[in-house]
């Protein structure tokens, strides 16, 4: 525990020194009137449930008390970001019931990729709402809400975004994990590595498109350590030499690290190409890997343990599902205390883990430049 305290002090000191070194000590807090998010299930607040089939119990049980479209027992990182900024949780763009877009919208859909895949949701869970489609949806959203806002009576505008807020909004990207998963499925290392430049370039084009339409502040997450996901560790015959010091699959994490390396380089290049933009690169990989490596010290059980689902004697029943095993119906429910677990269902993180990660990225400790999210609109 003493080591953890020392590490936390080092991070805090580093953050303060970094802020001072880039001249941000006296900068004003950014006034983000809205947040627009693009991503996959790591930040999907209900788009997938609106588009395909709803997330069922026990999802949502910890915070919301019912399923609300999140692949989690409660809140996601994007929810904690919105709360930190003093904004409501983001409404999914595809959700048509009781929806308000006054403070932004969420275009993330579970299973989405940056680059369109020649796969399907029914075949292997890949969403047709790739990043390029999400950007098209945003363009339509901006045009149509602007049209109705300017032609509506004031009392009808309360659920519509103010046109002037688009240029002052925070634009978040949290996508890429499913592109890596697609590469792993194809089991062709050379083909995946050859595809990475195009994947990150397509994300860059999405940023450029938003910039051309007035967006100025971007918060770009890299992808987490996919080789540490319990689902990766349970469905493979693994040899000890395939694992790193945290018990994660080295080869799979190498995919994530290569993607992240090229993504960071592309973000740095975007800063030159988009002179009026403020772009923050957020090292989600490092934050999650730190949590996994210090699970017990941070009050969690072993990182490879899964809260929701049935995983015994080589029988795997996914979270919330039922399956008949040898004449007995098994319901894959949740654990007694989800807050003790890092992994909710083998792929997604619990609310407790999401909170842990969110609180460490919003202060700038894992960002380049090392800016707290409330100062992300400033260029050092």
Kindly state the helix (H) or strand (E) to which residue 310 belongs, with its residue range. Answer: strand 310-312
Q: How far apart are CA 94 and CA 139, in angstroms?
A: 14
Kindly state the helix (H) or strand (E) to which residue 151 belongs, with its residue range. Answer: helix 131-151
Q: How far apart are CA 116 and CA 335, in angstroms?
A: 36
Closest CA to 288 of 365, 233, 223, 193: 223
Q: How far apart are CA 85 and CA 106, in angstroms?
A: 15
Q: Which of 15, 18, 41, 130 is catalytic?
A: 41
| Lookup result for tokens 């842990």 | 356
Q: How far apart are CA 277 and CA 281, in angstroms?
A: 13
Q: How far apart are CA 114 and CA 206, in angstroms?
A: 9
Kindly state the helix (H) or strand (E) to which residue 104 belongs, with its residue range. Answer: strand 104-106
Rounded alpha-carbon distances, angstroms, from residue 235 to 122, 137, 239, 314: 20, 36, 13, 9
Q: How far apart are CA 327 and CA 23, in angstroms?
A: 67
Rounded alpha-carbon distances, angstroms, from residue 378 to 165, 340, 367: 17, 37, 14
283 flagged as catalytic: no
Q: Which of 89, 221, 348, 375 is catalytic?
A: 348
Is 176 within 8 Å of 222 (Cβ atoms)?
yes
- End-to-end, the C-alpha distance of the chain in Å comes to 35
359 flagged as catalytic: no
Rounded alpha-carbon distances, angstroms, from residue 224 to 60, 88, 181, 233, 365: 22, 26, 12, 15, 16
Closest CA to 167 of 278, 28, 45, 90: 278
Question: What are the structure tokens assigned to 292, written together?
Answer: 């996994």
348 flagged as catalytic: yes
Q: Are strands 328-331 and 322-325 parallel, antiparallel or unpaired?
A: antiparallel
Annotated catalytic residues are 41, 345, 348
């Amino acid at each position: 525990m003493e080591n953890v305290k020392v590490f936390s002090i080092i991070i805090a000191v580093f953050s303060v020194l970094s802020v001072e070194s880039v001249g941000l000590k006296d900068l004003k807090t950014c006034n983000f009137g809205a947040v627009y998010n693009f991503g996959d299930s790591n930040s999907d607040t209900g788009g997938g449930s609106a588009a395909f089939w709803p997330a069922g119990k026990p999802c949502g049980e910890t915070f919301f008390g019912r399923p609300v479209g999140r692949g989690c027992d409660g809140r996601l990182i994007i929810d904690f970001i919105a709360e930190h900024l003093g904004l409501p949780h983001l409404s999914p763009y595809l959700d048509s019931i009781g929806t308000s877009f006054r403070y932004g919208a969420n275009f993330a859909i579970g299973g989405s990729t940056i680059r369109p895949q020649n796969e399907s949701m029914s075949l292997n869970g890949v969403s047709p709402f790739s990043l390029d489609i999400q950007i098209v949806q945003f363009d339509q959203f901006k045009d149509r809400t602007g049209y109705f806002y300017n032609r509506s009576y004031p009392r009808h505008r309360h659920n519509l975004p103010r046109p002037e807020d688009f240029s002052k909004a925070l634009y978040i990207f949290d996508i890429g994990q499913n592109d890596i998963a697609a590469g792993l499925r194809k089991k062709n290392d050379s083909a995946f590595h050859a595809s990475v430049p195009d994947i990150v370039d397509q994300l860059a084009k999405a940023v450029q498109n938003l910039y051309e339409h007035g967006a100025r502040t971007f918060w770009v997450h890299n992808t987490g350590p996919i080789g540490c996901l319990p689902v990766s560790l349970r469905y493979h015959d693994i040899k000890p030499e395939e694992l790193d010091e945290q018990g994660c699959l080295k080869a799979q994490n190498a995919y994530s690290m290569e993607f992240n390396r090229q993504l960071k380089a592309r973000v740095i290049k975007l800063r030159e190409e988009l002179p009026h933009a403020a772009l923050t690169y957020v090292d989600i990989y490092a934050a999650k890997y730190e949590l996994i490596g210090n699970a017990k010290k941070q009050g969690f059980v072993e990182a490879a343990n899964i809260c929701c689902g049935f995983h015994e004697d080589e029988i795997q029943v996914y979270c919330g599902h039922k399956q008949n095993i040898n004449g007995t119906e098994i319901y894959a429910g949740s654990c007694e205390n989800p807050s003790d677990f890092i992994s909710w269902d083998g792929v997604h993180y619990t609310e407790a883990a999401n909170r842990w990660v969110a609180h460490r990225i919003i202060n700038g400790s894992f960002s380049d430049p090392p800016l707290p999210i409330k100062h992300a609109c400033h260029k050092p």
